Amino acid sequence: MSGIVYLVGAGPGDPGLLTRKAHALLQSADAIVHDHLVAPEILALAAPDAERVFVGKKGGGFCCPQRDIEGTLIALARAGRRVVRLKGGDPFVFGRGGEEAEALAAAGIAFEIVPGVTSALAAAAYAGIPLTHRSHASAVVFLTGHEDPNKADSAIHWEDYGRLGATLCIYMGMKNLETIMRRLQAGGLAPDTPAAVIQSATTGQHRQFISTASRIARESETAGFGAPAIVVVGAVAALSSQLAWFAAQTESISA
């Protein structure tokens, strides 16, 4: 008999933000297939005898090809296992969960999706940045700063988002941040628009840097910020100076 695969969001890092359903599935799973960004404290919640399969990537090092990950999930399920595919954040927000669900469906494998707290929501909340605010922002956009390298052209027209007037949340954008910010400004984003970089959000390594659109790339790099990080661009980022409740417990750097 075939087993089942649960595509589970582990949240941003703080184990307290894991959902009750995700916790229960971890405790009952036969196998955990997990990424690098899943916190060790969350993996420790799994049953001691559950098989753990690492398929992540760190700093350009080990990387399991997506097709191999999908093959692993299918093979484990066909062996009758209860499989938790554990992803940082939410599996359907820049987590490639859609691709894995498609592969499972094509193979006739039963699966379920268990949402998690996506990184942009958690990073902003822990940095004291309300993504919407009646006086400052009525729309939020999630964007990726790291697209499929095989694409002929970028699907993101950054200049268009520069004049949108929404809060922009950029995932995986540190490597290309200077280019992204330049293109946003070319599209009409004011150079003095507040911007924030939030690294390792919700964890003991949480750090944040608040600056402006014209300076954030250069200054955050000088301050030693890097992945994993979320970039928030918009007037609401300035509210962090008043509302950064979590930074008082860790390390906060402001320009």
Active site (catalytic) residues: 35, 57
CA-CA-CA-CA torsion sign (123, 127, 128, 130): negative
- Calpha distance 77→3 (Å, rounded): 4
Instruction: Give me the residues paired with residue 229 across strands.
Output: 199
- Calpha distance 84→39 (Å, rounded): 15
- CB atoms near residue 53 (< 10 Å): 17
- One-letter amino acid at 160 equals D
Asked if residue 130 has a cis previous peptide bond (ω within 30° of 0), the answer is no
**Half-sphere CA count of 191, side-chain side, radius 13 A:** 3
What SS3 state is found at 27? helix
The CA-atom distances, in angstroms, between 53 and each of 39, 109, 132, 176, 212 are 14, 19, 38, 31, 41
| Nearest Cα to Cα of residue 76 among 97, 57, 50 | 50
